[in-house]
Amino acid sequence: MVTGAAQGLGHGVAQTLLRSGYAVAFVDKSSDMLDAAVQALGAPAGQALACVADVTDAKSMAHAVEATASTLGTVSVLVNNAGVSRDRLLLKMTDADWDDVIHVNTRSLYVCCRAVLPAMMLQRHGRIINISSRAWLGNRGQTNYSASKGAVISFSRSLALETADQGITVNTIAPGIHDTPMFRQLRESVQESLARSVPMGRVGTAQDVAAAVEFFADERSSYITGQTLYVCGGRSLAGMSV
């Protein structure tokens, strides 16, 4: 199950997992975008499911998990990717800017993990992969977003301790600057400046993040939990935001 799977990094992750042989539930709140995203992949019957759901609403996610279980099987891998940003300097930030980002980016973890954990505990196996951001280290104009992504890491570490003795791992991926619809909306000069700020000299792709997700989903990572993996071209070592 991949949340925020209608576009951007979430879609790239879901697509990669599907091509690697996983049956994938694509979760998003936009039904039109979600249906189009799933249909465009041409997945075999029984391999992909479009689940329209609000990741911050417990009943909505419970229905999504039930639909997935009845169609594809028990959710054994959850990728919490859905999130929003409302970038502004703190003194220009509205209450809604703060509340929306904190609400979506943190409550979704609580709601989605709680929805899948009972079945994972029953089968004593599960992989939870939460998408944070290099921005948790701090970015100008992102006090709300950075705070929410720092919470993702703290949440993951705590949940890893709660589930470690039950065959469940909880890990975090912290992407840097990636080629997403949001990135492509920036002015070309800003895109170029951001790319130059990456030590490796390029922005990342959805496939870069998907490769890290695949690793954490696989049995090869069964002895790794509570960890954060940066997928940022070295920017966590050297970069401030531009």
Domains with residue ranges and CATH for the chain: 2-238 (3.40.50.720)
Burial 17-53 (b: 16+ CB within 10 A, else e): bbeeebbbbbbbbeeebbeebbeebebeeeebbbbbb
* pLDDT recorded at residue 186: 73
Write out pLDDT tens, residues 70-80.
Answer: 999 999 999 99
Residue 45's pLDDT band (cuts 50, 70, 90) = confident
Per-residue pLDDT of 161-217, as tens digits, reads: 999 999 999 999 999 887 777 777 777 877 787 778 888 888 889 999 999 999 999
Residues marked as catalytic: 145
